Structure 1
Amino acid sequence: MKHSDIESLVRGFLVDTGKGNVDARTQQVVVRLTSDLFKAIEDLDLTASEVWKGIEYFSEAGATQELGLLAAGLGLERFLDIRMDEADAEAGLTGATPRTIEGPLYVAGAPESEGFARLDDATEAADGDVLFMQGTVYDIDGKPLPGAQVEVWHANLKGNYSFFDKTQPDFNLRRTIIADSNGRYCFRSIVPVGYGCPPDGTTQRLLDKLGRHGRRPAHIHFFVSAPGHRKLTTQINIDGDEYLWDDFAFASREGLVPPVERITAADRIAAHGLTQAFVSIDFDFRLNAEHAATSATEVEHIRAAA
């Protein structure tokens, strides 16, 4: 079947049969995606069994809540970021902290604190490195943004996230920090480890067929926002991780790998109320002002809430 024939067929299925009110944008998107799908079936000579196996695969991925992982593993999330980067560049918005993917593991409603927060529940403190991370939230001109909101979340030493991992308190390793009067934020936690897709899950099964691993480097997620400024979705990666530049989710970016300093000086250890060496990471955030010529950076979709 020719592509023009497929386009006529889809129009007959989805456009000419419409009798009620039509949402033009929905119709436009559905017609395009359906046409592209039908063309792919024709061009690749997919059998009916292959098509239904694909439908079964997506049904299973949805039932096991792995569609978010799949979006990351296929590069869909990164592609959306690339498009937003291009739109920012066209609007002349430069100099902000690089964005990168949100991932599927954010949970809304984390407890708030001002200036400083401890993220971990102390159950793993003896098994890993204590982490202090600190910095300032600036506008694009280098002016601090007092009251900026820094939402932070990361995995534990098993690579698991609270709320989804029911062995942890719901908001373990999750906090919302309100920057102080100097735009500063600081938190104490543990140095996270990377994680992999569930080995028997739908995402890893597909990655196996593509000859790809499903590992992520150790990383820490952030939402950073301030009135009058574009919300930043980003994450920093822990330097030295085996998968630092081989992330299955394509989220590693230049500018998001800060130096990791191991603190062994007795006076600095004592000043942080510790008795052993710890890890320190300095990282500042820079936000662009809101700009009418570009789309909003707040991505609307359903998120978990404890």
Structure 2
Amino acid sequence: MTTEIHTPTAVESGSSATEAFRKSLARHGTADTDRERIDTFARDVLGRIHDAIRAHNMTYPEYQAVKQWLIDVGESKEWPLFLDVFVEHVVEDVASQDHHGTKGSIEGPYYLPDQVMLPAKATLPMRQEEKGTPLVFSGQVRTLEGTPIPGAELDIWQADADGYYSGFASTIPDGNLRGVVVADGDGRFEITTVQPAPYEIPKDGPTGKLIAAAGWHAWRPAHLHLMVRAPGHRTVTTQLYFRGGQWLDSDIAQATKPELVLDPQPDADGVL
């Protein structure tokens, strides 16, 4: 028996990402920003747009094309996708410039909260005969001073071996390859999963049209997402990549960092 793989469209992914973002705002709210800061930032951004228009002698047809593209991004609900791919990595760099310890990375548009809680040694929820090379990810959550953090939560999510995320592809069960692993009394954990695949961000919508028009590729290297949290400690959101993986040096989201590249070694059974 063969299972048909449904490739998620940009509209499907955009709608799911937008809904997830709105739920996040409902849970956490937005930060208050004073009028003076809004005025300064907005004037700076608009001024730089004006400078780019003058520097490149933008024509009216080009301006109209940009206006239509902005309308299309909104109507397709692709703003979370576009901003998380092209903007979030800079926001993350600025936000974490004074942080120490494990390097952070972008959250991206595919995070979904409230996943199943799992013990310190656990297998992520997956389909029967889930495709992909088995992968065991283990470690210890510690403070900057090296003290173990018992009961730390590792919220983990990833694409499958075809490069798709549950919650964003209708043929994948909800919660697949997602979970919240609770570290043991020594802060240790061992997570069994499968190695994720690289994937292209959806290209059939306005974000994809921009990528095609500019001659860019749309690929992200294979990675695991992690959000590590514990009471009294700063939450760390990061991504872990794989040495030798394709697109590591040209990630469309510019989110890779050398410190976040793993080098898994197969055991006698071929498990990484």
Pair in the same fold by TM > 0.5: yes
Q: Alpha-carbon deviations, 1:114-142, whole Å to 9, x = none?
A: 313322323343x3212221111010011
- Correspondence for 1:69: 81
Alignment of 1:1-306 (within 5 A): 23-74=35-86, 76-86=87-97, 88=98, 93-94=99-100, 96-125=101-130, 127-264=131-268, 277-280=269-272
1:163 Cα deviation from its structure 2 partner: 0.6
**TM-score, length-scaled by structure 1:** 0.71
1:72 Cα deviation from its structure 2 partner: 4.5
Whichever of the two has the greater Rg, that structure is: 1
SS in 2 for 1:143: coil
SS in 2 for 1:206: helix
Gaps of 5+ in 2: 1-33
SS in 2 for 1:187: strand
Mapped to 1, the partners of 2:76 and 2:162 lie a distance apart of: 20
Whether contact under 8 Å (1:73, 1:214) holds in the other structure is: no
SS in 1 for 2:91: helix
Whether contact under 8 Å (1:132, 1:187) holds in the other structure is: yes
Change (3 A) 1:36 1:250: closer
Whether contact under 8 Å (2:166, 2:174) holds in the other structure is: yes
SS in 1 for 2:176: coil
Supply the AA of the counterpart residue of 1:55. K
Supply the AA of the counterpart residue of 1:33. V
RMSD between aligned alpha carbons? Answer: 2.1
Supply the AA of the counterpart residue of 1:114. P
Mapped to 1, the partners of 2:118 and 2:125 lie a distance apart of: 14
Whether contact under 8 Å (1:120, 1:190) holds in the other structure is: no
SS in 2 for 1:262: coil
Supply the AA of the counterpart residue of 2:251. D
Mapped to 2, the partners of 1:35 and 1:111 lie a distance apart of: 47
Mapped to 2, the partners of 1:169 and 1:189 lie a distance apart of: 16
Mapped to 1, the partners of 2:35 and 2:158 lie a distance apart of: 39
Mapped to 1, the partners of 2:203 and 2:50 lie a distance apart of: 32
SS in 2 for 1:182: coil
Mapped to 2, the partners of 1:166 and 1:215 lie a distance apart of: 21
Change (3 A) 1:39 1:254: closer
Q: Alpha-carbon deviations, 1:236-294, whole Å to 9, x = none?
A: 11222222222111121112112212111xxxxxxxxxxxx2423xxxxxxxxxxxxxx
Q: Could you tell which deviates more after superposition, 107-116 or 65-74?
A: 65-74
1:113 Cα deviation from its structure 2 partner: 1.9
SS in 2 for 1:107: coil
Mapped to 2, the partners of 1:105 and 1:223 lie a distance apart of: 13
Change (3 A) 1:65 1:190: farther
Change (3 A) 1:158 1:79: same
Mapped to 1, the partners of 2:50 and 2:171 lie a distance apart of: 45
Moved beyond 4 Å, runs of 4+: none
Mapped to 1, the partners of 2:175 and 2:197 lie a distance apart of: 18
Say how many residue pairs are matched. 239
- Correspondence for 1:304: none
Gaps of 5+ in 1: 1-21, 265-276, 281-306
